[in-house]
Structure 1
Amino acid sequence: MTASKVPEVTIWFWLIKVLCTTVGESFADWINTGLGVGLGATAVIFTCVLALVMGAQLQLPRYVPIVYWLTVVVLSVTGTLYTDLLTDTLAVPLAASTAVFTVALAAVFGVWFARERTLSIHSITTRPRELFYWLAVLVTFALGTAAGDWTLALTEWSPGVSVLLPVTLIAIVTAGWRFGVNAVLSFWLAYILTRPLGANLGDWFAAPRSAHGLGLGYGLTSCVFLTAITAAVIYLSRTRIDVIDPNDVNDHTVPVSQRRVSAVAAVGFYAVVILAAGALLQWASMQPHGEAGGHDDEDPRPAAAAATVVPGRISAFPATDIAHLRNVVQDTLVRVNAGDQAAARSRITDLETAWDQDQDRLQAIDSNTWTALDQEIDAALKSVRSSSPSADDEKRDLTTLLNSLH
């Protein structure tokens, strides 16, 4: 029999998958904003890198840990970037992109099953099945990004709290599998959920303690997770404990003695889980978010008025940092004045990313000024990203912020 092109699904599989998700997103942000490449150019770069890595993966006759997991990392970055392009450049609402990627994933699975009569990871032994597998992985990353970002937009949960939802859902999926719910369905649901889990976990590690994070920063967090991935992949390469035996035809996904749950019962089980999660998100979206630093989407100005930037205090921050922020705000204002809302949304993302990346360093210099400026930036972000943007509100908030940055 042909050797499998993917690893056995063990605890190592899930551990490295989560780590890859975190490192992939951090690296994309570094290229996009840290090097000033921009979202569109970063997406093009990683699409080219994906083509090269995928070409190497497809040429291999068997599963090779370092190439396989490198492919997963690049797919994680690329899938995230595609979602960000829809949201930030094309102004597609997160709810819509979540629905689009859900339909796309269903279509991939439908065509895959119609052709191959299986969606099991243990059946990836032919080129068509491997192509279907990687396409499904790419779409799951995009879907996980959209669904995760949509959840955070609705709830405005802190980094630590946001980790709990995907962890809980993964635990429920695992429990369902243990009690006999279809193993293939359970696998792919868990695979999707690891995307928001990894991203939220990275944010929790990197966010400052004042924002209920662990305060490691994005640089150190990426190094820690990358080191863990490297160590795990080296271990797997040497021990080969995750290599699927081509002579073993068993599925490995459900113990032989375990009674399988009917398809109707499985659908009912996950329908209840989805409804419960939806009810939780609906409840969370209706709660006041002022303590977490968020504001009402329809009127962010009252919260922003709680603190003001004291004239002259902005000079405490490095001039290069302020100049970069000022340029982004000016560019955004120019686009708003020109009536190009999509371009304004795209440009102001650079403001958010740069501000978040510099948070630890700037907040340590002058916490009060940082807090006041953070509220003005948040107000500008909400105005530009509003589902029903008002040009007057956008201009007012961007002008206020621009004045504070001088």
Structure 2
Amino acid sequence: MQTRVFAAPKVPAVFLMFWVVKLLTTGIGETASDYLGSVSIPLAAVIGVGTFFTALSVQLKARTYHPVRYWVTVLGVALFGTMIADGPHVALGTPYWFDSIVYLVLLCGLLTWWQRSEGTISVHSITTARRERFYWGVVLLTFGLGTAVGDATAIDFGLGFIWSILLFAVLIVVPFGLWKLGLNVTVAFWSSYVLTRPLGASIADWLGKGTHDGGVGWGIGPVTLVGLLIFAVLVAYLTATHSDVDHAETHARDAALSEPARSLTT
């Protein structure tokens, strides 16, 4: 099948700031979804679906990576991912642990399809339109899975927000430690990527929920607003500094492109 090819990966380099912004989007997605739902469920559905598909459409049509476009899409996925995780529980009454298993099976199935189709599931390989579509499909399922897992620990298993935060704070460093011991870097990345969702969402819920629900009581509206402000500042920083561009891959690409020119002059 023919597919568009990009000059460089359409995703940011994975370093500390990547994980900070990713965690932030998970918390914003959780509290924003709850806040919109408290105002109007139809309004929440329109904003969630509209933001997701609009941002994703703009991202898929672009040929290069840009921090604002990429992270707004992740934010749209975070909002929509919360809704698709809560939907089965609200509409069908299924427990969150059951939804977690369903999303885990779907995620493993899509990753397997991606691996068999492209020969790699590395985020450094997002250089074609087909791989990018696989990438965003996986990202969406990780948000759905992470949301369901976080709700399962806090609600189904009765851990509450504090113990859920501590649990996922410990679990999220496990893939990093295993990677240092030889675990495949791609497996470690996607494992950590899933765990950012329940960690960020648990922190946001703890800050936003009332004290009678085990939270601090700051309010989901204010927590969402503060999160969006911090998100805007961090993405502006990445846009200005270009610090999230994988310079090693850029140099390798430039060297490969210039090689034919050098051959013609020798």
Contact residue 95 and residue 156 of structure 2 kept, 8 A: no
Partner of 2:75: 73
Partner of 2:179: 177
Deviation string 1:191-246 (CA, Å, 9 cap, x unpaired) is: 10111001100122224456654332222222222121111101100000111244
Distance (whole Å) between structure 1 residues aligned to residue 213 and residue 88 of structure 2: 28
Distance (whole Å) between structure 1 residues aligned to residue 226 and residue 47 of structure 2: 25
Tell me the CA shift for residue 151 of structure 1.
1.4
Q: What one-letter code is carried by the residue in structure 2 that aligns with 1:27?
A: A
Aligned pair partner of 2:148 in 119, 137, 146: 146
Tell me the CA shift for residue 249 of structure 1.
5.6
Asked if 1:214 corresponds to 2:219, the answer is no
Q: Which SS does the other structure have where 1:81 is aligned?
A: helix
Q: What one-letter code is carried by the residue in structure 1 that aligns with 2:192?
A: A
Contact residue 43 and residue 82 of structure 1 kept, 8 A: no
Count the aligned residue pairs: 247
Q: Which SS does the other structure have where 1:227 is aligned?
A: helix
Asked if 1:23 corresponds to 2:28, the answer is yes
Deviation string 1:108-144 (CA, Å, 9 cap, x unpaired) is: 1011000111111111111001000000000010111
Q: What one-letter code is carried by the residue in structure 2 that aligns with 1:14?
A: W
Deviation string 1:24-75 (CA, Å, 9 cap, x unpaired) is: 12112222112x2x2x663354223322111110122211111111100110
Tell me the CA shift for residue 154 of structure 1.
3.3
Q: Which has the higher helix share?
A: 2
Deviation string 1:311-358 (CA, Å, 9 cap, x unpaired) is: xxxxxxxxxxxxxxxxxxxxxxxxxxxxxxxxxxxxxxxxxxxxxxxx
Once the two structures are superposed, the pairs formed by residues 381-392 of structure 1 within 5 Å of their partners are none
TM-score by length of 2: 0.87
- Rg larger in structure: 1
Q: What one-letter code is carried by the residue in structure 2 that aligns with 1:32?
A: G
4+ long deviations beyond 6 Å: none
Partner of 1:11: 16
Once the two structures are superposed, the pairs formed by residues 81-230 of structure 1 within 5 Å of their partners are 81-208=83-210, 213-230=215-232
Q: Which SS does the other structure have where 2:11 is aligned?
A: coil
User: Among the aligned pairs, what percent are the same residue?
Assistant: 36
Partner of 1:57: 59
Distance (whole Å) between structure 2 residues aligned to residue 234 and residue 131 of structure 1: 26
Quick one: structure 1 residues 83 and 57, their matched pair in 2 at CA, closer, same or farther if it must change by over 3 Å? same
Distance (whole Å) between structure 1 residues aligned to residue 98 and residue 36 of structure 2: 27
Distance (whole Å) between structure 1 residues aligned to residue 132 and residue 151 of structure 2: 29
Once the two structures are superposed, the pairs formed by residues 273-352 of structure 1 within 5 Å of their partners are none
Contact residue 159 and residue 207 of structure 1 kept, 8 A: no
Q: Whose relative contact order is higher, 1 or 2, with alpha carbons under 8 Å and at least 6 apart?
A: 2
Quick one: structure 1 residues 159 and 96, their matched pair in 2 at CA, closer, same or farther if it must change by over 3 Å? closer
Quick one: structure 1 residues 209 and 28, their matched pair in 2 at CA, closer, same or farther if it must change by over 3 Å? closer
